[in-house]
Chains A and B, each alone.
Chain A
Amino acid sequence: MMGRTLFIDPGRCIGCQACVSGCRECDSHRGKSMIHLDYPDEGSSVASLPSVCMHCEDPVAPCAEVCPAEAILITPDGVVQEADPTRCIGCSNCVNACPFGIPKIDLAAKLQLKCNLCYDRTSIGLAPMCATVCPTGALFYGTLEELQAERPGVDVSNWFEFGDVQITTGVAMVVPADRTRQPVPGGLPTLPLVQVDGRDVSNAGGQP
């Protein structure tokens, strides 16, 4: 199973944006945050979801597979790196193919930007910036044993489902102990959406 990695527990996230600020401070991508913080039920609940690159293992890195410039490297330890600036042509294939919606694109610089699990830190044994500054432990960096020692009864899943497709990842999410035998839903609607926030979207998909 997974070794030392990042465990995400949205149930603990208070939406404080400390991870976003911490990420922005990282020396390898100064001033730009690679972590996303979203509010899935905005207006109705305070639930928030921090999203980092999940470092897909099977299929291995769809972002790298769809890259026409062979710009995304996967290190032997399974970390999917950000695009090599020498090769990236800024086509956005990775941005729109990623099932987790993680990569960003700087169109002027023709460059993809993505979480690389703070490789400058994790490759020398330090925790990523986001996990270091998270005040509630919604982002935990360590081994599963270390997580379970701190939080008895907790389990994790790195198994996601998008329609008929299942993806396993290097980064995992905390799930209730009785739910480890099922994949975590990736959110891909099984039926076409007809309404979002009271707005008719039945004709969307091609027409802004």
Chain B
Amino acid sequence: MLLAAAVSLLLVLAIVLGSRGLRDFDSALIPYTVATVFLAFGVTYRYLMWISTPAAWRLFRQGLRTAFSWENFRRAPGSLPKMAATYLGFQRFLGARSHARWIAHQAMFWGCLLAVAITFPLTWGWFTFTASSAAGPGYEMRVWGFKVLGFSSSSPFGWAMYHGLDLAAVLVIGGVGYFLWRRTRDRAATTGQRFGYDFLPLLALLTIAVTGLLLTFSEICLHGGGYEFLAVIHMVSVVFTLVYLPFGKFFHIVQRPAAVGMQLFKHRSRAQGEELFACSRCGEPIDTAPYVENLRGTMRDLKLGFDQWAEYCPRCKRVLRGGAYLQHVKRGFR
């Protein structure tokens, strides 16, 4: 709790410093800023709660130790960035689940990422856009008060800069549309689904994206008609999503890097040519020896009491159980 509060305070400090003592801070965006501060608190708190469970804590330590070990940098300097790109950026594992899901998730992911990259620094007062001359059309983009680029607002680049959130909304609507369709049609998705966990995040993203696009529509086509109402709906949906993020389905965004740590932890043993741990009965490889030891440690932490069983492959466990049933329970089974 204290650490989570410290992270939130750090963010507030960064906002004050980054907006040059609040000179560049846009007070109209205060609800968004408050939501991001709460997000920092919620994510830190939930993350700490998560990694304090025995299984996650062991994996967290092993993953971190491997990812930032000198051994890893020396032997395979490209493995961390490569795995981060394939697992977290391009999410290739989703392609193995379904190509359609991969495309939809990529659209949603990059759309959200683009929106976050634009809006978070804006709400913190880190980005400012100022006219370079009174006559226009030159504009300057400043980060923390320093000019980083100048562009013409009437150029294609200028158009893209001012419509970045519209582009993000189109990507998000495409992805969310597919997932909503899947949640109503695909038995794999509908089995055991829950409204709060599975539908609510999709509906929240859809509301944000649609109201965001409607704001642009109102500005261009309706001369601002309904703008204030739309702005309130948009703000409420964004604030809700940010507050919900640490506690619902969106928490997987924070959890997913564990896949990289886990993979590096296994990859290190394989790269070093260590022998794989073999099943005590059939001799088939189970996994890397450090991984099996880590799992046995987790089982001992949890007082499961049968960690020795992890030395057998799943098939041998079933065969041995069948053999014991044959021998001790129902001899007629033969």
A residues engaging B (CB < 8 A)?
A: 10-11, 27-30, 36, 38-41, 45-49, 51, 59, 62, 65-70, 73, 75, 81, 85-87, 89-93, 95-104, 106, 108-111, 116, 119-120, 123, 162-165, 173-176, 179, 184-189, 192-193, 196, 199, 201, 204-208
Contact = CB atoms under 8 A, between A and B. Distances in A.
Given A185-B324, A188-B309, 18 more contacts: A11-B333, A75-B192, A89-B262, A91-B262, A93-B295, A93-B298, A97-B295, A97-B304, A100-B317, A108-B96, A110-B96, A173-B329, A188-B306, A193-B280, A196-B281, A201-B282, A204-B281, A206-B289
Given A47-B334, A89-B259, A109-B96, A100 B191 contact: no
Given A28-B187, A186-B324, A187-B321, A109 B97 contact: yes
B282 A111 contact: no
A93 B56 CA distance: 11
A114 B84 CA distance: 28
A176 B56 CA distance: 42
Contacts of A199: 283
B259 to A, nearest CB: 4
B279 interface: yes
A205 B277 contact: yes
Nearest to A49: B322
Contacts of B50: 70
A97 B96 CA distance: 25
B28 interface: no
Q: Chain B interface secondary structure, helix, strand, loop or mixed?
A: helix
B16 interface: no
26 contacts: A10-B330, A11-B330, A29-B188, A38-B318, A40-B320, A40-B323, A49-B321, A51-B318, A65-B302, A66-B295, A70-B50, A70-B255, A96-B292, A97-B310, A100-B318, A103-B314, A109-B93, A111-B97, A163-B309, A175-B329, A184-B325, A185-B321, A185-B325, A185-B329, A208-B276, A208-B285
B306 A162 contact: yes
B192 A81 contact: yes
- Indicate the member of B258, B289, B322 with the most A CB atoms within 10 Å: B322
A45 B324 contact: no
B315 A110 contact: no
Nearest to A69: B255
Contact of A173 (B282, B305, B309, B325): B325
Contacts of B252: 86-87
Contact of A97 (B53, B258, B299): B299
Contact of B258 (A30, A39, A69): A69
A28 B287 contact: no
Contacts of B319: 38-40, 49, 187
Nearest to B320: A187
A101 B96 contact: no
Contacts of B35: none
B309 A120 contact: no
B277 A49 contact: no
